[in-house]
């Protein structure tokens, strides 16, 4: 019984962490039709907020504003200088953001070096759940993810901004004609997606550690979640995250980390081959 | 051929002179960079000619290196067995690449992010396997302690073997550019959809390009094992994969020599500057971004453009005209029939039980107000849009939901509503592709003669007075005015002598003279071949002049059918057009 609870908690943790990682990528792809290959590097940059706060001698909690500020500014700069030119050019945007990801990685390496760093848990201590004691910080993150997704879904479906966003996604030129500033909208969408990526890095850094190349794994797992769920909807993202996170958690627990990874890859290839629209299809 | 050949021979001479002039160490360095360059040539082929972005080609490089190292270890470095092992290993990896690409690209006409990320994930996994499978690969410390191939010295004679491989891959890639296979690849990058309607299975074309890319990269990896004397997980890592891409981009992915130049130049510069300047890697990454944004063709493209400005043109291969073999399409043994065809997209029902039988030969005009489902009907017949319910038959054959590239094999050619030609290719190259469509066998992709194929029907069409294309041979098709583009697309449609010709507004955007010419051409083709021609038109004068049966579509159904006079006299049809009640 306790064993089962632990497995369930671990799976919930994996799924929550993946949802957090994938959200930024899903937003940028869903709204701008750009697959942001530098997504993982924004995750990485967010995680480095811990390092910046430490170097400046600031209390750990200041990492949050630092993360938002740094990632937001970098994302804005990148959107204005590079990404802006690649809207509606799927293939070229892929390459451009890939080049950006290499550039960001190299710059971070130049500043902070290649070394792997540990980040202390912001919340220490274990929580007793039945016969299982589970790290409190993980439970907090799981709760935050669930609450955040629920709010986001409601906001997207019910708010006026949500309607505007759907209008722009549906028909950019018509939206422009109806008085929506699509250029500012695109910038806002890109920056939002990247800041969310940064925040996920910040929140997950205590578990993942911090290093320049940590973004790759984040990118690939997020992307696979999108592939399995179906690109471009929040509901699809939820399903994809659950399947991919679940498969990875299960295989990793049963066999090994590599097996978990391989399982997810095979799953993604099968989906691309047989069900290119993913599990959740928008009607 | 003179000038280009002279430049290439001078480059080769330079390569051969390196050991004598610059000594052992530079030779060793250059050998390594050339191997990287060959691997980057593989990436350049996939990206520049296949139009898709492989982010994990170090997979083939590294796996081939490990396998070569193990075979070298087992055989003590004997030349022939190891050469054979390298080739077999490269062929197996190429087969893997073929299957992967075919599976991912099947059923889609874009080369978007899926493929790239799958290859990236693969290379990460293989690197992880190489690190963890310590007993087999030596893990993190690498696999070493074997002889080089034929005992050749990496600082000495092995270099010549590497140069030999460089010559072979470069020559083969340059040759491919000149052959029908290369033309098809360029057509693929230019206009994938049109290539499919010409009967080429583009997912298989891409799969072949990726297989060749993997093969080349794997050969380089095989020699790498001999050159380095040790293979570590880095040889199959994502860092090398990215570097291959950077070299190909900066050097130039559109020319076989571009990636080589990129790898050698950046290789030497990095060796000099990497340790002195911390920001060197940042600079390279920045350079990559700049190339991607501003100079997609890279350095070699700039050089060739400059050379062209100075008046040095690459010689055009002249191919003697020769008769094209007959089209391979299956004979059509009956009329085209639609039975209860339902199609919907995004919640909108476009065709709702469309049902009619076309005549077996001659003309049928399809008219109807906008949104009636005319174009969708053509798309479903050629498999570009899936049929939900109902069936489409051609004679006795069921052709419901055939893949788009199979339509031509059933003898169906389609001209699209928005004229779709290979914009980046010249008019001549477009016409060459038209003659290749539906006639090529596997070997024809690697023979020169098919480029000179003459299709009688096409020749007749081009010889008609008023057809402007014959004089426009070297002009890029993207630069043609609308009317000429319509003519060119007609040629692309008729090149394979289809028995069923579907024309979607063939005279849209044409002057009255051009319209008259177009009608004459279509009539002439029909009279010569006895084909069935379906024309969608809004121009009633044209419909009248064709003097054929008219089918009126409205809201996804057959609304009326009959001769032009009958249909015109039908008050319901007038009402539909004049916007009466629905």
Per-residue pLDDT reduced to its tens digit, A91-150? 888 889 999 999 999 999 999 998 899 988 888 888 888 788 888 899 999 999 999 888
Length of chain A: 283
Q: CB distance from B527 to chain A under 8 Å?
A: no
Residue of B nearest to A257 (CA): B128
Beta-carbon contacts of residue B160 (< 8 Å; ≥ 6 apart) = B16
- Strand (E) or helix (H) holding B398: strand B397-398
CB A85: neighbour CB atoms within 10 A?
12
- CB atoms B288 and A283 under 8 Å: no
- Tell me the count of A-B CB pairs closer than 8 A: 100
Instruction: Enumerate the β-bridge partners of residue B339.
Output: B391
Tokens of B194: 């049109």
Determine contact: A217 vs chain B, CB below 8 A: yes
Q: For the structural domain made of B359-385+399-576, what CATH number should be given?
A: 3.40.50.300
* Distance from C-alpha of B269 to C-alpha of A247, rounded to nearest angstrom: 45
pLDDT above 90 covers a percentage of chain B that reads 51
Residue B8 has pLDDT above 50, yes or no: yes
Helix (H, G, I), strand (E, B) or coil at B339: strand
**CA–CA distance, B325 with B439 (Å, rounded to integer):** 6
B287-326 burial: b if 16+ Cβ within 10 Å, else e: bbbebbbeeebbbbbebbeeeeeeeeeeeeeeeeeeebee
Q: Would the CB atoms of A103 and B100 count as touching at under 8 Å?
A: no
Q: For position B580, what pLDDT does the model report?
A: 54
> How would DSSP label each residue in B77-132?
T-HHHHHHHHHHHHHHHHHHHHHHHHHHHTT-S---HHHHHHHHHHHHHHHHHHHH
Compute CA distances B180 → A106, B390, B429, B437, whole Å: 42, 39, 10, 11
pLDDT recorded at residue B582? 47
Query: ipTM, 2 decimals?
Result: 0.86
Please judge whether B53 and A258 are an interchain contact, meaning their C-beta atoms are less than 8 angstroms apart.
no
Tens of pLDDT, residues B301-320: 998 889 888 887 777 778 88
Q: Is B517 on the interface with A (CB under 8 A)?
A: no
C-alpha span between B231 and B235 (Å, rounded): 7
Cβ–Cβ below 8 Å for B121 and A35: no
pLDDT over threshold 50, residue B108? yes
Q: Is the pLDDT of residue A282 over 70?
A: no
Q: What confidence tier does B52 reach under pLDDT thresholds 50, 70, 90?
A: very high
- Statement: residue B578 has pLDDT above 80: no
Backbone angles phi and psi of A179, in degrees to 5: 90, 20
Query: Per-domain residue ranges for chain B?
Result: 2-236, 359-385+399-576
Of A100, A213, A216, A37, residue with least CA distance to B288: A100
* pLDDT average, residue stretch B246-263: 94
**Angle subtended by helix axes A136-158 and A182-208, to nearest 10:** 170
B residues 174-203 lying closer than 8 A (beta carbon) to A: none
Asked whether the beta carbons of residue A99 and residue B289 sit closer than 8 angstroms, the reply is: yes
> Among all residues of chain B, which has the CA nearest to that of A103?
B285
At A279, the pLDDT band (50, 70, 90 cuts) reads confident
Q: Which residue on chain A is closest to B130 by alpha carbon?
A: A258
| Residue B553 near residue B366, CB atoms below 8 Å | yes
Note whether B125 contacts A262, CB cutoff 8 Å.
yes
- In b/e form, how buried is each residue of B519-537, taking b as 16+ CB within 10 angstroms? bebbeebbeebebbbbbbb
Distance CA(B375)–CA(B379), nearest Å, equals 6
Distance from first CA to last CA of chain B, Å, rounded?
67
**pLDDT recorded at residue A275:** 76
Name beta bridge partners: B272.
none
Whether the predicted pLDDT of A283 surpasses 50: no
**What single-letter DSSP state applies at residue B179?**
S
Q: Report, as an integer, the average pLDDT of B357-386.
A: 88
Instruction: Enumerate the domain spans of chain A.
Output: 2-274
**pLDDT band, residue A281 (cuts 50/70/90):** low
Closest C-alpha among A172, A165, A1, A187 to residue A77:
A187
Task: Please tell me the distance from the alpha carbon of residue A37 to that of residue B20, in angstroms, as a whole number.
Answer: 45
Predicted confidence band of residue B158 (pLDDT cuts 50, 70, 90):
very high
Q: Are B148 and B229 in contact (CB under 8 A)?
A: yes
DSSP 8-state code for residue B159: H
* Structure tokens, A100: 């950006």
Q: Which residues pair with B363 in a beta bridge?
A: B533
In chain B, residues with a C-beta closer than 8 Å to the C-beta of A93 are none
The sign one gets for the Cα dihedral B388, B392, B396, B399 is: negative
Closest CA to B329 of B422, B419, B417, B394: B394
> Which is it for the CA torsion B235, B238, B239, B241, positive or negative?
positive
Please tell me what DSSP assigns to residue B476. Answer: B
What whole-number distance in Å separates Cα of residue A109 and Cα of residue A94? 23
pLDDT at A232: 66
- A64 — contact with chain B (CB < 8 Å)? no
Question: How far apart are alpha carbons B547 and B541 in whole angstroms?
Answer: 10
Contact yes or no for A106 and B53 at CB 8 A:
no
pLDDT at residue number A108? 95
Q: Mutation test of the interface with chain A: which of B121, B190, B270, choosing the one with the most A Cβ atoms within 10 A?
A: B121
Structure confidence by residue, pLDDT tens digits, A210-243: 999 999 889 988 988 888 887 767 788 888 898 9
Q: Check B293 against A268: CB less than 8 A apart.
A: no
For residue B185, pLDDT over 60 is answered with yes
Contact A283 B347 (CB under 8 A): yes
B248 touches chain A (CB under 8 A): no
* Other beta carbons less than 10 A from residue A174's beta carbon: 11
Residue B569 confidence class, pLDDT cut points 50, 70, 90:
confident
Instruction: Please say whether the beta carbons of B477 and B421 come within 8 A.
Output: yes
Average pLDDT taken over every residue of chain B: 90
pLDDT (0 to 100) of residue B104: 87
Considering only CB atoms, B242 lies closest to which of A102, A223, A276, namely: A102
Min distance B164 CA to chain A CA atoms (Å): 32
Question: Of A26, A28, A29, A98, which to mutate for an interface test with B (greatest number of B Cβ within 10 Å)?
Answer: A98
What average pLDDT does range B212-231 have in this prediction? 96
Q: Is B550 helix (H, G, I), strand (E, B) or coil?
A: strand
Residue from the list A91, A102, A110 with its beta carbon closest to the beta carbon of B112: A91
Q: Kindly report, residue by residue over A39-49, the tens digit of the pLDDT.
A: 999 999 999 99
Please write the tens of the pLDDT for every residue from B114-123.
888 889 888 9
Assess whether pLDDT exceeds 90 at residue B33. yes
Helix-strand-coil split of chain B, %, nearest 5: 60, 10, 30
Within the 307-336 window of chain B, which residues sit less than 8 Å (CB to CB) from chain A? none
Instruction: Please compute Rg for chain A using Cα positions.
Output: 19
Q: Between B120, B129, B246, which is nearest A220 by CB?
A: B120
| Residue in A closest to B112 by C-alpha | A91
In CATH, what class is A2-274? mainly alpha
**A132 strand-pairing partners:** A129
Report CB contact under 8 Å: A273, B106: yes
Residue A35 near chain B (CB below 8 Å): yes
Chain A neighbors of B288, CB-CB under 8 A: 99, 102-103
Contacting residues of B for A218, CB less than 8 Å apart: none
């Amino acid at each position: 019984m306790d064993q089962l609870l632990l497995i369930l908690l671990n799976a919930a943790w994996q799924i929550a962490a993946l949802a957090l990682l994938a959200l930024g990528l899903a937003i940028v792809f869903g709204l701008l039709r750009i697959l942001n290959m530098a997504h993982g590097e924004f995750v990485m940059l967010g995680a480095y907020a811990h390092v910046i706060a430490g170097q400046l001698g600031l209390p750990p909690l200041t990492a949050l504003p630092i993360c938002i500020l740094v990632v937001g500014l970098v994302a804005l700069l990148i959107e204005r200088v590079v990404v802006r030119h690649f809207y509606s050019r799927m293939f070229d945007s892929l390459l451009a953001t890939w080049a950006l990801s290499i550039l960001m990685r190299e710059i971070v390496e130049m500043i902070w070096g290649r070394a792997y760093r540990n980040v202390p848990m912001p919340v220490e201590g274990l929580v007793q759940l039945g016969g299982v004691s589970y790290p409190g910080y993980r439970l907090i993150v799981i709760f935050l993810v669930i609450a955040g997704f629920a709010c986001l879904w409601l906001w997207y479906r019910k708010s006026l901004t949500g309607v505007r966003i759907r209008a722009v996604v549906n028909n950019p030129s018509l939206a422009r004609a109806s008085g929506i500033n699509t250029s500012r909208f695109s910038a806002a969408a890109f920056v939002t997606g990247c800041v969310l990526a940064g925040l996920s890095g910040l929140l997950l850094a205590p578990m993942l550690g911090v290093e320049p190349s940590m973004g790759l794994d984040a990118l690939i797992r997020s992307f696979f979640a999108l592939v399995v769920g179906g690109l471009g909807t929040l509901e699809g993202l939820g399903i994809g995250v659950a399947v991919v996170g679940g498969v990875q958690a299960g295989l990793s627990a049963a066999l090994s980390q590599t097996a978990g990874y391989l399982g997810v890859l095979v799953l993604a290839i099968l989906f691309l081959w047989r069900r290119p629209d993913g599990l959740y299809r928008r009607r | 051929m003179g000038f280009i050949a002279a430049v290439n021979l001078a480059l080769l001479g330079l390569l051969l002179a390196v050991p004598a002039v610059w000594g052992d160490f530079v030779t060793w360095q250059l050998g390594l960079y050339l191997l990287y360059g060959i691997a980057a040539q593989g990436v350049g082929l996939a990206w520049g000619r296949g139009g898709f972005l492989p982010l994990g080609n170090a997979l083939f490089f590294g796996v081939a290196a490990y396998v070569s190292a193990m075979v070298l270890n087992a055989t003590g470095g004997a030349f022939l067995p190891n050469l054979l092992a390298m080739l077999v290993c490269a062929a197996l990896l190429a087969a893997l690449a073929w299957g992967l690409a075919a599976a991912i690209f099947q059923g889609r006409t874009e080369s978007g992010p899926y493929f790239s990320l799958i290859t990236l994930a693969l290379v990460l996994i293989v690197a992880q396997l190489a690190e963890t499978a310590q007993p087999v690969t030596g893990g993190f410390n690498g696999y070493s302690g074997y002889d080089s191939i034929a005992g050749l010295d990496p600082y000495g004679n092995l270099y010549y073997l590497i140069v030999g491989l460089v010559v072979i891959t470069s020559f083969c890639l340059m040759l491919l550019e000149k052959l029908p296979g290369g033309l098809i690849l360029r057509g693929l990058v230019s206009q994938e959809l049109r290539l499919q309607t010409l009967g080429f299975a583009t997912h298989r074309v891409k799969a072949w390009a990726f297989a060749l890319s993997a093969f080349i990269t794997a050969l380089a990896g095989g020699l790498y094992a001999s050159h380095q004397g040790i293979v570590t997980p880095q040889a199959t890592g994502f860092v090398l994969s990215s570097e291959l891409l950077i070299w190909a981009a900066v050097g130039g992915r559109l020319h076989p020599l571009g990636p080589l130049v990129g790898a050698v130049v950046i290789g030497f510069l990095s060796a000099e500057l990497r340790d002195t300047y911390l920001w060197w890697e940042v600079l390279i990454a920045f350079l990559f971004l700049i190339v991607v944004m501003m100079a997609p063709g890279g350095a070699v493209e700039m050089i060739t453009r400059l050379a062209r400005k100075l008046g040095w043109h690459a010689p055009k291969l002249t191919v003697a005209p020769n008769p094209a073999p007959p089209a391979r399409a299956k004979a059509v043994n009956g009329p085209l029939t639609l039975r209860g065809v339902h199609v919907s997209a995004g919640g909108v029902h476009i065709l709702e039980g469309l049902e009619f039988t076309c005549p077996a030969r001659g003309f049928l005009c399809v008219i109807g107000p906008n949104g009636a489902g005319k174009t969708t009907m053509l798309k479903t017949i050629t498999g570009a849009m899936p049929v939900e319910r109902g069936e489409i038959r051609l004679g006795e054959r069921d052709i419901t939901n055939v893949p788009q590239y199979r339509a031509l094999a059933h003898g169906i050619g389609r001209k699209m509503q928005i004229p779709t030609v290979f914009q980046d290719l010249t008019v001549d190259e477009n016409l060459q592709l038209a003659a290749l469509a539906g006639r090529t066998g596997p070997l024809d992709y690697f023979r020169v003669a098919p480029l000179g194929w003459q299709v009688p029907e096409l020749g007749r069409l081009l010889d008609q007075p008023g057809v402007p294309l014959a004089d426009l041979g070297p002009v890029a098709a993207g630069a043609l005015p609308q009317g000429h583009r319509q003519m060119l697309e007609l040629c692309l449609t008729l090149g394979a002598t289809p028995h069923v010709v579907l024309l979607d507004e063939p005279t849209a955007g044409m002057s009255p003279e051009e319209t008259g010419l177009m009608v004459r051409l279509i009539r002439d083709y029909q009279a010569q071949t006895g084909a069935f021609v379906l024309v969608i038109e809004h121009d009633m004068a044209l419909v009248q002049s064709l003097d054929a049966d008219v089918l009126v579509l409205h809201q996804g159904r057959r609304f009326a059918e009959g001769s032009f006079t009958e249909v015109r006299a039908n008050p319901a049809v007038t009402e539909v057009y004049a916007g009466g009640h629905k």
